[in-house]
Amino acid sequence: MLTLAIAGCTGRMGRALVEAVIGAPDLSLGGVLEQSGSVFLGRDPGDWLGSPLGLRITSDVSQALSGSSVLIDFTRPQATLSHLEACVRHRRAIVIGTTGFAADEKAQIVDASRHIPIVFAPNMSVGVTVVLALLEQAARLLPTDYDVEITEAHHRYKVDAPSGTALRMGEVVAAQRGWNLADVAVYGRSGVTGARPPKTVGFATVRGGDVVGDHTVSFMAEGERVEITHKASSRATFALGALRAARFVAQQAPGLFDMRAVLGL
Protein backbone atom coordinates (compact mmCIF):
# COMPACT_ATOMS: atom_id res chain seq x y z
CA MET A 1 0.00 0.00 0.00
CA LEU A 2 1.49 3.32 -1.11
CA THR A 3 0.81 6.17 1.32
CA LEU A 4 0.49 9.73 0.00
CA ALA A 5 0.43 13.22 1.45
CA ILE A 6 -1.61 15.94 -0.26
CA ALA A 7 -0.58 19.61 -0.11
CA GLY A 8 -3.29 22.25 -0.45
CA CYS A 9 -5.84 19.59 0.43
CA THR A 10 -8.81 21.97 0.69
CA GLY A 11 -8.36 23.65 -2.69
CA ARG A 12 -10.09 22.64 -5.90
CA MET A 13 -7.34 20.25 -6.96
CA GLY A 14 -6.56 19.22 -3.39
CA ARG A 15 -10.10 17.99 -2.80
CA ALA A 16 -10.09 16.13 -6.11
CA LEU A 17 -6.82 14.46 -5.09
CA VAL A 18 -8.13 13.46 -1.66
CA GLU A 19 -11.22 11.90 -3.25
CA ALA A 20 -9.10 10.08 -5.84
CA VAL A 21 -6.76 8.62 -3.20
CA ILE A 22 -9.71 7.42 -1.11
CA GLY A 23 -11.14 5.72 -4.19
CA ALA A 24 -7.90 3.91 -5.08
CA PRO A 25 -7.57 0.43 -3.50
CA ASP A 26 -3.76 0.47 -3.66
CA LEU A 27 -3.30 3.90 -2.08
CA SER A 28 -3.87 5.44 1.34
CA LEU A 29 -3.80 8.97 2.70
CA GLY A 30 -0.98 9.55 5.18
CA GLY A 31 -1.01 13.34 5.54
CA VAL A 32 -3.03 16.39 4.56
CA LEU A 33 -1.39 19.78 4.41
CA GLU A 34 -2.64 23.38 4.32
CA GLN A 35 -1.02 26.77 4.70
CA SER A 36 -0.53 28.35 8.11
CA GLY A 37 -3.61 30.32 9.14
CA SER A 38 -6.06 28.23 7.13
CA VAL A 39 -9.48 27.93 8.74
CA PHE A 40 -9.35 24.21 7.95
CA LEU A 41 -6.37 23.41 10.19
CA GLY A 42 -7.21 20.67 12.66
CA ARG A 43 -10.23 19.48 10.72
CA ASP A 44 -10.68 16.02 9.24
CA PRO A 45 -10.77 16.21 5.40
CA GLY A 46 -13.47 13.58 5.51
CA ASP A 47 -15.83 16.24 6.90
CA TRP A 48 -16.75 17.33 3.36
CA LEU A 49 -16.82 13.75 2.06
CA GLY A 50 -19.41 12.53 4.52
CA SER A 51 -17.11 10.05 6.26
CA PRO A 52 -14.25 10.91 8.68
CA LEU A 53 -10.81 9.72 7.63
CA GLY A 54 -9.09 9.89 11.00
CA LEU A 55 -6.62 12.53 9.77
CA ARG A 56 -6.18 16.14 10.80
CA ILE A 57 -5.16 18.92 8.42
CA THR A 58 -1.83 20.41 9.44
CA SER A 59 0.50 23.18 8.32
CA ASP A 60 3.52 21.17 9.53
CA VAL A 61 4.98 19.61 6.39
CA SER A 62 7.24 17.30 8.40
CA GLN A 63 4.20 15.93 10.19
CA ALA A 64 2.35 15.41 6.91
CA LEU A 65 5.35 13.58 5.46
CA SER A 66 6.01 11.40 8.51
CA GLY A 67 3.47 8.77 7.48
CA SER A 68 3.79 9.18 3.72
CA SER A 69 6.12 8.06 0.94
CA VAL A 70 5.14 10.62 -1.71
CA LEU A 71 3.87 14.21 -1.54
CA ILE A 72 1.55 15.52 -4.27
CA ASP A 73 1.66 19.30 -4.58
CA PHE A 74 -0.63 21.49 -6.70
CA THR A 75 -0.26 24.74 -4.73
CA ARG A 76 1.74 27.91 -5.44
CA PRO A 77 5.43 28.20 -6.33
CA GLN A 78 6.60 29.58 -2.98
CA ALA A 79 4.72 26.92 -1.01
CA THR A 80 5.84 24.14 -3.34
CA LEU A 81 9.50 25.09 -2.99
CA SER A 82 9.16 25.08 0.79
CA HIS A 83 7.55 21.63 0.66
CA LEU A 84 10.26 20.50 -1.74
CA GLU A 85 12.96 21.41 0.75
CA ALA A 86 11.18 19.30 3.38
CA CYS A 87 10.94 16.39 0.96
CA VAL A 88 14.70 16.56 0.40
CA ARG A 89 15.33 16.64 4.17
CA HIS A 90 13.06 13.65 4.79
CA ARG A 91 14.00 11.85 1.56
CA ARG A 92 10.45 11.72 0.23
CA ALA A 93 9.48 11.64 -3.43
CA ILE A 94 7.29 14.44 -4.77
CA VAL A 95 4.85 14.98 -7.62
CA ILE A 96 4.68 18.67 -8.61
CA GLY A 97 1.73 19.95 -10.62
CA THR A 98 2.16 23.58 -9.55
CA THR A 99 2.63 26.12 -12.36
CA GLY A 100 3.96 29.67 -12.57
CA PHE A 101 7.59 28.99 -11.60
CA ALA A 102 10.29 31.45 -12.62
CA ALA A 103 13.46 30.15 -14.26
CA ASP A 104 15.48 30.27 -11.03
CA GLU A 105 12.71 28.41 -9.20
CA LYS A 106 12.70 25.67 -11.82
CA ALA A 107 16.47 25.43 -11.27
CA GLN A 108 15.80 24.69 -7.59
CA ILE A 109 13.59 21.77 -8.63
CA VAL A 110 16.32 20.45 -10.92
CA ASP A 111 18.83 20.73 -8.07
CA ALA A 112 16.52 18.87 -5.67
CA SER A 113 16.13 16.04 -8.19
CA ARG A 114 19.74 15.07 -7.51
CA HIS A 115 18.61 13.98 -4.05
CA ILE A 116 15.04 12.68 -4.49
CA PRO A 117 12.84 11.46 -7.34
CA ILE A 118 10.52 14.15 -8.72
CA VAL A 119 7.75 14.14 -11.30
CA PHE A 120 7.33 17.73 -12.49
CA ALA A 121 4.70 18.46 -15.12
CA PRO A 122 2.43 21.46 -15.74
CA ASN A 123 -0.40 19.09 -16.61
CA MET A 124 -0.91 15.56 -15.29
CA SER A 125 -3.57 14.64 -17.84
CA VAL A 126 -2.90 11.57 -19.96
CA GLY A 127 -4.66 13.33 -22.85
CA VAL A 128 -2.45 16.41 -22.63
CA THR A 129 0.65 14.21 -22.57
CA VAL A 130 -0.49 12.61 -25.83
CA VAL A 131 -1.28 16.06 -27.28
CA LEU A 132 2.30 17.17 -26.57
CA ALA A 133 3.55 14.20 -28.57
CA LEU A 134 1.20 15.12 -31.43
CA LEU A 135 2.45 18.70 -31.34
CA GLU A 136 6.01 17.49 -31.79
CA GLN A 137 4.98 15.72 -34.98
CA ALA A 138 2.91 18.61 -36.29
CA ALA A 139 5.65 21.16 -35.65
CA ARG A 140 8.21 18.92 -37.33
CA LEU A 141 6.10 18.07 -40.38
CA LEU A 142 4.46 21.44 -41.11
CA PRO A 143 6.59 24.13 -42.79
CA THR A 144 7.78 26.96 -40.59
CA ASP A 145 5.67 29.45 -42.56
CA TYR A 146 2.63 28.03 -40.75
CA ASP A 147 1.92 30.59 -38.03
CA VAL A 148 1.52 29.19 -34.52
CA GLU A 149 -1.03 30.56 -32.06
CA ILE A 150 -1.86 29.03 -28.66
CA THR A 151 -5.16 29.82 -26.95
CA GLU A 152 -6.00 28.73 -23.42
CA ALA A 153 -9.00 29.22 -21.14
CA HIS A 154 -9.33 28.61 -17.39
CA HIS A 155 -11.61 29.47 -14.49
CA ARG A 156 -11.68 32.93 -12.98
CA TYR A 157 -9.52 31.93 -9.99
CA LYS A 158 -6.39 30.88 -11.87
CA VAL A 159 -3.60 33.26 -10.90
CA ASP A 160 -0.91 32.67 -13.56
CA ALA A 161 -1.06 33.32 -17.29
CA PRO A 162 -0.44 31.88 -19.76
CA SER A 163 -1.06 28.51 -18.17
CA GLY A 164 1.86 26.19 -17.56
CA THR A 165 0.34 23.79 -20.07
CA ALA A 166 0.17 26.48 -22.76
CA LEU A 167 3.79 27.41 -22.13
CA ARG A 168 4.83 23.78 -22.33
CA MET A 169 3.00 23.47 -25.65
CA GLY A 170 4.89 26.51 -26.89
CA GLU A 171 8.19 25.04 -25.75
CA VAL A 172 7.49 21.80 -27.60
CA VAL A 173 6.64 23.58 -30.85
CA ALA A 174 9.58 25.98 -30.59
CA ALA A 175 12.04 23.17 -29.88
CA GLN A 176 10.95 21.24 -32.97
CA ARG A 177 11.53 24.34 -35.08
CA GLY A 178 14.90 25.12 -33.56
CA TRP A 179 13.66 28.22 -31.74
CA ASN A 180 14.03 29.40 -28.15
CA LEU A 181 10.50 30.15 -26.90
CA ALA A 182 11.72 33.10 -24.83
CA ASP A 183 12.92 34.75 -28.05
CA VAL A 184 9.82 34.12 -30.18
CA ALA A 185 6.85 34.26 -27.78
CA VAL A 186 4.26 37.03 -28.14
CA TYR A 187 2.08 37.27 -25.02
CA GLY A 188 -0.21 40.15 -25.82
CA ARG A 189 -1.38 42.38 -28.66
CA SER A 190 -3.18 45.69 -28.59
CA GLY A 191 -3.32 48.84 -30.66
CA VAL A 192 -1.74 49.09 -34.10
CA THR A 193 0.55 46.07 -34.06
CA GLY A 194 1.35 45.85 -37.75
CA ALA A 195 1.57 42.59 -39.65
CA ARG A 196 2.28 39.41 -37.72
CA PRO A 197 6.03 38.76 -37.63
CA PRO A 198 7.14 35.37 -38.97
CA LYS A 199 8.75 32.79 -36.70
CA THR A 200 6.77 33.75 -33.61
CA VAL A 201 4.48 31.85 -31.24
CA GLY A 202 1.46 33.80 -30.08
CA PHE A 203 -0.43 33.24 -26.81
CA ALA A 204 -3.98 34.27 -25.97
CA THR A 205 -5.45 33.87 -22.48
CA VAL A 206 -9.10 33.66 -21.43
CA ARG A 207 -10.24 33.67 -17.78
CA GLY A 208 -13.79 33.23 -16.58
CA GLY A 209 -16.44 31.11 -14.95
CA ASP A 210 -15.58 27.56 -13.97
CA VAL A 211 -13.61 26.45 -17.03
CA VAL A 212 -11.37 23.58 -15.91
CA GLY A 213 -8.91 23.95 -18.78
CA ASP A 214 -9.07 24.31 -22.57
CA HIS A 215 -6.02 24.49 -24.84
CA THR A 216 -5.80 24.85 -28.62
CA VAL A 217 -2.66 25.08 -30.73
CA SER A 218 -3.33 26.41 -34.24
CA PHE A 219 -0.95 26.05 -37.17
CA MET A 220 -2.21 28.53 -39.79
CA ALA A 221 -1.17 29.03 -43.40
CA GLU A 222 -2.68 30.44 -46.57
CA GLY A 223 -5.82 28.42 -47.29
CA GLU A 224 -5.82 26.07 -44.29
CA ARG A 225 -5.18 25.62 -40.62
CA VAL A 226 -4.49 22.63 -38.39
CA GLU A 227 -5.79 22.75 -34.82
CA ILE A 228 -4.92 20.41 -31.96
CA THR A 229 -7.21 20.85 -28.97
CA HIS A 230 -7.55 19.41 -25.49
CA LYS A 231 -10.51 20.21 -23.23
CA ALA A 232 -10.78 19.09 -19.62
CA SER A 233 -14.26 18.87 -18.15
CA SER A 234 -13.28 17.59 -14.70
CA ARG A 235 -10.30 17.93 -12.35
CA ALA A 236 -10.58 14.18 -11.80
CA THR A 237 -8.49 13.63 -14.95
CA PHE A 238 -5.60 15.63 -13.42
CA ALA A 239 -6.00 13.88 -10.06
CA LEU A 240 -5.92 10.41 -11.62
CA GLY A 241 -2.85 11.38 -13.64
CA ALA A 242 -1.16 12.64 -10.47
CA LEU A 243 -1.85 9.32 -8.73
CA ARG A 244 -0.33 7.53 -11.69
CA ALA A 245 2.72 9.78 -11.34
CA ALA A 246 2.91 9.03 -7.60
CA ARG A 247 2.92 5.28 -8.21
CA PHE A 248 5.69 5.78 -10.76
CA VAL A 249 7.90 8.14 -8.74
CA ALA A 250 7.73 5.95 -5.63
CA GLN A 251 9.70 3.32 -7.55
CA GLN A 252 12.39 5.63 -8.92
CA ALA A 253 15.89 6.62 -7.88
CA PRO A 254 16.59 10.36 -7.58
CA GLY A 255 15.96 12.18 -10.83
CA LEU A 256 13.60 14.52 -12.66
CA PHE A 257 10.74 12.97 -14.65
CA ASP A 258 7.77 14.24 -16.66
CA MET A 259 4.46 12.63 -17.60
CA ARG A 260 5.92 11.15 -20.76
CA ALA A 261 8.26 9.13 -18.57
CA VAL A 262 5.35 8.16 -16.33
CA LEU A 263 3.40 6.88 -19.34
CA GLY A 264 6.43 5.27 -20.95
CA LEU A 265 6.18 7.39 -24.11
88 and 149 share a domain? no
Q: What is the pLDDT of residues 131-176, one digit of tens each?
A: 999 999 999 999 999 999 999 999 999 989 999 999 999 999 999 9
110 and 239 share a domain? yes
Active-site residue, 199 included: no
101 and 181 share a domain? no
227 and 213 share a domain? yes
**For the chain, how far is it from start to end, CA to CA, in angstroms?**
26
Which has more pLDDT, 58 or 99? 58
112 and 39 share a domain? yes
85 and 190 share a domain? no
| Structure confidence at residue 88 (pLDDT) | 98
95 and 151 share a domain? no
For range 215-228, the mean pLDDT: 97
| Structure confidence at residue 141 (pLDDT) | 97
pTM, whole model, 2 decimals?
0.82
For range 52-79, the mean pLDDT: 95
Tally of structural domains, the chain: 2
76 and 183 share a domain? no
111 and 162 share a domain? no
Q: What is the pLDDT of residues 97-122, one digit of tens each?
A: 998 899 999 999 999 999 999 999 98
74 and 158 share a domain? no
215 and 257 share a domain? no
Residue 187 has pLDDT above 90, yes or no: yes
| Structure confidence at residue 46 (pLDDT) | 86
Gap between the Cα atoms of 127 and 153, Å rounded: 17
Active-site residue, 158 included: yes
Domain containing 154: what range?
Answer: 126-232
Residue 123 has pLDDT above 90, yes or no: no
CA 83 to chain centroid, in Å, comes to 16
Sheet of strand 93-96, all strands in order from the earlier edge strand to the far edge: 27-33, 2-7, 70-73, 93-96, 117-120, 255-257
Please tell me which residue in 83, 90, 154, 231 is annotated as part of the active site: 154
CA dihedral of residues 79, 83, 85, 87 (deg, nearest 10): -170
11 and 27 share a domain? yes
| Structure confidence at residue 120 (pLDDT) | 97
Please tell me which residue in 83, 90, 155, 158 is annotated as part of the active site: 158
Gap between the Cα atoms of 262 and 255, Å rounded: 13
What is the residue-averaged pLDDT of the chain?
Answer: 95
Nearest 5°: phi and psi at 246? -65, -45
Gap between the Cα atoms of 42 and 55, Å rounded: 9
DSSP per-residue codes, the chain = -EEEEEESTTSHHHHHHHHHHHT-TTEEEEEEE--TT-TTTT--GGGGTTS--S---BS-HHHHHHT-SEEEE-S-HHHHHHHHHHHHHHT-EEEE------HHHHHHHHHHTTTSEEEE-S---HHHHHHHHHHHHHHHHS-TTSEEEEEEEE-TT--SSS-HHHHHHHHHHHHHTT--HHHHEE----S---SPPSS-EEEEEEE-TT--EEEEEEEEETTEEEEEEEEE--THHHHHHHHHHHHHHTTPPSEEE-HHHHHT-
- According to DSSP, the β-strands at 213-221 and 147-154 are antiparallel
Question: Which residues share a beta bridge with 33?
Answer: 7, 58
The CATH code of the domain that includes 12 is 3.40.50.720
The CATH code of the domain that includes 166 is 3.30.360.10
| Structure confidence at residue 184 (pLDDT) | 97
221 pLDDT band, cuts 50/70/90, is very high
